[in-house]
Structure 1
Amino acid sequence: MTDRDFDTQDWQVRDRAHYLHPFTDHAGLRQTGSRIAAHAEGIHVWDTDGNRMIDGLSGLGCVNLGYGRRELVEAVAREMAELSYCPSFFRTSHRAAITLAETLTGLLPDHLNHVFFQSSGSEANETAMRLVRRFWDLEGRPEKRVIIARELAYHGSTHMAASLSGIPPMYGAGGDVPLPGVVHIRTPYRYRHGRDMDPAEFGVVAARWLEEKILEIGPDRVAAFVAEPAQSAGGAICPPETYWPEIQRICRKYDVLLVLDEVVMGFGRTGKWFGHRYYGIEPDLMQLGKGITSGYLPLSATVISDRVADVLIDKGGEWAHGYTYSGHPACCAVALENIRILTEERIVERAEAELVPAFAAGIRSFVDHPLIGDCRSVGLMGGLEIVRDKATGEAFPYEAHVGDHCSAEALKRGLALRANGDTMSLMPPLVTTPDQIAEIFAIAREAIDATARHFGAM
C-alpha cells in the first residue's frame, strides 16, 4: 500500500494519532481534522480532496518566490550530491556558507559584516540575545542586562524568544516565560493607542515610550531594544514614518543596542529588500529568516555589526554557542539561489512598482466597510481590523472568535486569510500578479461580508 492509496480521512486519523501541531488547540483539531496539503505551484496550494487555495500568507510569511521553483530544488540537489553535510565546528567551513555570508553582507549596510547561521527565527533571536549580553560582559559592563521588547511582538518560541514576544498566551506554554530581565513597552499601534493623533505626532510619542522605560530602569542597566520593523503576527502593525528615527536617536543617546528582527520583513516584504531600508534604521544586530530561502529549507541568520563582532572576536576567546545545523550546505545553497532569482528577475523591485500600490489600494477599499475599524499596510503586508462598533473602535468579545470565523469563511472560498485576533492579515508572495491581487481582495470581501452578516453587522 502506497501513500496515494490513503484518502483524506485516513491521513486525518494518522495525523491525530501522532502529529502535534504548533500553536494548535489539539482537542479542537480532533473534532475537525486537519486540512491535508498535497501539492503546490505558484501562489496556489491543493489539498488531498482537490480543493485549490490561494496562499494569501506566503506560508507563514516565508514563501516569497512562490511554490514549485525548480531552480531552488535543483540547487539543493546539487549541493547535497556534492556535500550533504558539514559542521561549522572544529575550525571547518565550506563554500556555500562562506559565499552566502559574503552575499548577505553585500546586501546590507557597510557596518554589518559578520553572519552567524541557524535554522529558525527563534534561534536567530536566541543568538542575538546571547550576543547582546556577551558584548556588555566583555565591555566590562555586566550590569547592562535588561532587554526591552514590545507588546504584541513575535520573536519565536524558544525560552528567550518567547520571552521577547509580547503575546501573553505564549507564556502559558510552559517554562517560566517570560524570563527575568525582559520587559515590554507599548507598541506603535495607532488605532488602539492614538486614534485621534496625527500619525507623525503619534510616531514620536510612541517612540518615547522606549525612553521612558529606559529612564525608569536606568540606562546603565538596559542592554538592548529588540523589535520588528513592522509587526506581522501582532496584527499588521505599521509604525508611522516618524517612529523609527526617534527610536534610533534614543538608542544612541543611552547606548542601548538596537536589535532588528527582520525574519518576516526581510527579502522584499516591505517593497524594499529589507525593512531597515524602508524605515531608515541602522541596527547593531539583525535577524533574518523565512524569505532567505523562500521557505524551501529552514535557515536563519544573525547579522552582527562591526562594533559587536570586533569585541566578541578580540576579547571573547571561545564563544560557546552554536548548532549542529549552523550553515548547513544545502540550506545555504538554496538561499544563494533564492537571492540570485530575487536579484536577476528584479522580484522585489517589480513588487514595489506593480504589486504594492494595488495591494495598498485593496486594503484601503475596506475603509467604509461596516465591520472594519482600521485598514493598514506596509509593502505586501496588510491588516483589516474587525470591530463591533466602527465609531468607537469597540472590539468583539474574545469568546466570539470573529477573526477565526472570518478566516474559515475565506478558506471555504479558496483563500488563506489569517486571523491575528480579530485583525485579518494578508502577506501574499512577491510573485503574485496584479490580477491575483484583485482576486485575493474579491474573496476577502466575500468572506468579510459573510462574517458581517453572521454577526449582524450588515
Structure 2
Amino acid sequence: MTQNIKPTHFRSEGDVNTTPARQAWNASMDDERAQALLKRDSEVFLHQAMSTPCLDTLEAAEGIYIQDATGKKYMDFHGNNVHQLGYGHPHVIKRVQEQIAKLPFSPRRFTNETAIECAEKLTQICGGELNRVLFAPGGTSAVGMALKLARHITGNYKVVSLWDSFHGASLDAISVGGEACFRQGMGPLMAGVERIPPAVSYRGAFPVADGSDVHYANYLEYVIEKEGGVGAFIAEAVRNTDVQVPSKAYWKRIREICDKHNVMLIIDDIPNGLGRSGEWFTYQAYGIEPDMLCIGKGLGGGLVPISAMVTKDKYNTAEQISMGHYTHEKSPIGCAAALATMEAIEQDGLLGKTRADSQFMHEKLMEMKAKYPVIGDVRGIGMLWGIELVTDHEAKTRAYDEAEAVLYQCLNNGVSFKVSQGNVIQLSPPLIITREQLTEALAIFEQAIAKVCKDFNYF
C-alpha cells in the first residue's frame, strides 16, 4: 500500500506528469519517431503543469479511438470532454465542410443564417426560459461573460463558488475556481470571491450519518447573508473532475436560496453538457433551471472550438455593455459544427443510449467495488463515473500510487482516462461507444485494478 505520501494541491486537477511513474512511461517508448516528436514538442512549446511532458504523440483520431505515431490505439475515456460524438463524426464533418465552402467567416458586426439556426436550436434543447445566447471561442470565455452579466443584473460583484471547482484557466476563471493549483503564484486575483464546501457524499467537509447533503446548500445561504453584496453563485451541476453527484434536494434548495436573495445561479456545464448526463444538460436531471448556462467543449463535436452562454429574455438588458466582443462571436464554422452535433445526438438517439449505458456501467463498477478492496467509492451519472481508490476504507486515505499504477497499466493496454484528486479514476467515454467496446474497456480496467490489489498486497 501507499507509504509516506505527502500529497500536494498539484494532485487536484489530474495525474502528475513529473512523477517517477510518468518518467518510466516516457522511457518505455522505444519508437524513435515518437521520441523525436516529444523532444521537438518540449523544445518549442512553453512548459506548463499537467501538459508537459506529453503522454504520447498522436497521428489519428476516429470514433472512440486516438492513435499514436506507432499505430497503437487508445480508447479515449477522457477526451478533454469534447468527445461526446467521438472523433470525426461524419455528420459534423459534412456540415463543416459545406459551411467552409459557402461562408468560412462572418465579421462580428454581421450575422449569418447558420449562427441564427444554431442559437435557435440551442434554446430549443435548453427549454424553459433559457432563450438568449452569446457564442464565444471557449468555455472560459463563456464563464467570463456570465460573471459580467451577473454584475450588470444584480449590481453586486461578489461571487460564491465551490472549493475544488474548475471554471477555466484565465485570471477571472481561476479567481472563481476552487483549485489552488491554478492560483499558485498568481498574486492578487479578482476581488469578492467566497468559496464554500461542495456537496461531497464520500469525504465531505461536513458529513452526516444519513448521507444527506442539503446542509451544504444551507451553507450557501449562511455566506450570502453574512457576506452581503453577492451577485452570483457558480457551480457545475455535477462536478466533472472527480465526479461529485449532489442530490436533487441539494439543487432544489440552491435554487430556492438564489431566488430568495436575488443571486444569479450560473451552471457551468462546459464539460458535461450535450448529453453526458443522459439529458441535454446536467441541470435538467435535477429539475431546476439556472439563470445562466455556460457550455462548450463538446458543443463543437470534437472538431471546432466553440462555447455559449445562454440566459433568459428578462436579462436581455446589457445592450450598452460589450459582454463578449469576440472576433469569432458568430463563427459560421463553429456554429455549423455545434448545430451538427445537436442534430447527431438527436438522430443517433444518444440521450436514451447514455441512460441505458449508465445503468450498465453502474452495475459493473459496483461489482468491482464489492470485489476489490482498493475501491472505496463509485459514483456517477450518465457516462461520467468516478472510482475512488483508497488504502483504508475507514480513514479513506487516498491511494495515490495505486491510482497511478492503474492509469499506466490501462494506457499500456489501450485505455486512456484521467486521474483527479490524485486517486479518483474518472471514466467519461464517448456517448457513441458500443456495448461491446464498453465491455472491453471495463475488462481492461478491472484487470488493472486486480493487478494493483495483488502488487500492493490488498489480498
Q: TM-score with structure 1 length normalisation?
A: 0.89
Please point out which of 394, 397, 400 is paired with 1:394: 397
1:429 deviation in Å?
0.7
CA contact (8 A) 2:295 2:309 kept: yes
* Cα distance, 1:21 vs structure 2: 6.0
Task: Using the TM superposition, name which of 420-429 and 108-117 deviates more.
Answer: 108-117
2:97 alignment counterpart: 77
- From 265, 272, 276, the equivalent of 1:269 is 276
Instruction: Tell me which residue corresponds to 2:198.
Output: 187
2:209 is matched with which residue?
A: 197
Q: What is the alpha-carbon distance in structure 1 between the residues aligned to residue 299 and residue 266 of structure 2? A: 18
- Root-mean-square deviation (Å): 1.9
In the TM superposition, residue 405 of structure 1 has moved relative to its aligned partner by 3.0
Q: CA deviation at 1:22?
A: 5.7
Residues 1:383 and 2:386 are matched in the alignment: yes
2:232 maps to a residue whose letter is A
State the SS of the aligned residue for 1:387: strand
- Which amino acid counterpart does residue 265 of structure 1 have in structure 2? N
Mark the CA change 1:123 to 1:21 in structure 2 (over 3 Å): closer, same or farther: farther
Q: Which residue of 2 aligns with 1:224?
A: 232
Return the match for 2:123 from 86, 94, 105: 105
CA apart distance, 1:307? 2.4
1:41 aligns with 2:52: no
Task: Letter of the 2:195 partner, please give it.
Answer: H
Match of 2:73 among 27, 52, 55: 52
What amino acid is aligned across from residue 147 of structure 2 in structure 1? Answer: M
Give the CA deviation at 1:10: 2.2
Q: CA deviation at 1:197?
A: 2.8
Displacement after TM superposition at 1:110 (Å): 3.0
Secondary structure in structure 1 of the residue aligned to 2:318: helix
Q: For residues 274-333 of structure 1, what are the alpha-carbon distances to aligned partners after superposition, in whole Å with 9 as ceiling and x for unaligned?
A: 112101121110001112122211000000112221x324xxx24364111112110101
Q: What is the CA–CA distance in structure 2 between the aligned matches of 1:162 and 1:183, rounded to whole Å? A: 13
Q: Which residue of 2 aligns with 1:94?
A: 112
Q: CA deviation at 1:74?
A: 2.1
Tell me how far 1:196 sits from its aligned partner: 5.0
Within 2, Cα distance between the matches of 1:173 and 1:295? 32
Matches within 5 A, 1:107-256: 107-136=125-154, 142=155, 144-172=156-184, 174=186, 176-177=188-189, 179-193=190-204, 197-199=209-211, 202-218=212-228, 221-233=229-241, 235-256=242-263
Tell me by how many angstroms 1:208 deviates. 0.9
Give secondary structure in 2 for the equivalent of 1:357: helix
User: Quick one: higher RCO (CA 8 Å, sep 6+), 1 or 2?
Assistant: 2
Q: Does 1:445 align with 2:446?
A: yes
Match of 2:15 in 1: none
Kindly indicate whether residue 324 of structure 2 is the aligned counterpart of residue 326 of structure 1.
Answer: no
Q: Which of the numbers 315, 340, 349 marks the counterpart of 2:352?
A: 349
Q: Does 1:335 align with 2:335?
A: no
2:44 is aligned to 18
Contact 1:54-1:440 within 8 A present in 2 as well: yes
Task: State which drifts further: 296-305 or 445-454.
Answer: 445-454
Q: Is the 8 A contact 1:410 1:416 kept in 2?
A: yes
Residue equivalent to 1:370: 373
How far 1:371 sits from its partner (Å)?
A: 0.6
Amino acid at match of 1:76: V
Q: Please say if residues 62 and 291 of structure 1, whose CA atoms lie closer than 8 Å, have aligned partners that are also in contact.
A: yes
The secondary structure found in structure 1 opposite 2:377 is: strand
Q: Counterpart of 1:139?
A: none
Query: Secondary structure of the equivalent of 2:74?
Result: strand
* Shift in alpha-carbon separation, 1:295–1:22, aligned structure 2, 3 A: farther
Question: Compared with structure 1, are the counterparts of its residues 21 and 323 closer, same or farther at alpha carbon in structure 2 (3 Å cutoff)?
Answer: farther
Distance in 2 (alpha carbons) for counterparts of 1:34 and 1:247: 40
Deviation at 1:122, TM superposition (A): 0.7
Q: Which runs of 5+ in 2 are unaligned?
A: 1-31
* Cα distance in 2 between the residues matched to 1:16 and 1:227: 35
Cα deviation, 1:50-98, whole Å, max 9, x if unaligned, reads 21111112x1122111122222122112111111111223xx1111111
The answer to whether the 8 Å contact 1:118/1:301 transfers is yes
Instruction: Give how far 1:401 is off.
Output: 4.4
Gaps of 5+ in 1: 1-5, 137-141
Aligned length: 426
Question: Could you say which residue in structure 2 is the equivalent of 1:432?
Answer: 433
Q: For residue 195 of structure 1, report the CA deviation from its aligned partner.
A: 5.3
How high is the TM-score relative to the length of structure 2?
0.88
Please state how far the C-alpha of 1:34 moved relative to its aligned partner. 4.1
SS of residue paired to 2:393? coil
Q: Quote how far apart the aligned CAs of 1:450 are.
A: 2.6
Distance 1:395 1:341 in 2: 40
Q: Deviations over 1:4-58 (max 9, x none)?
A: xx822221221111124664264xx2xxx6401111221111111121111112x
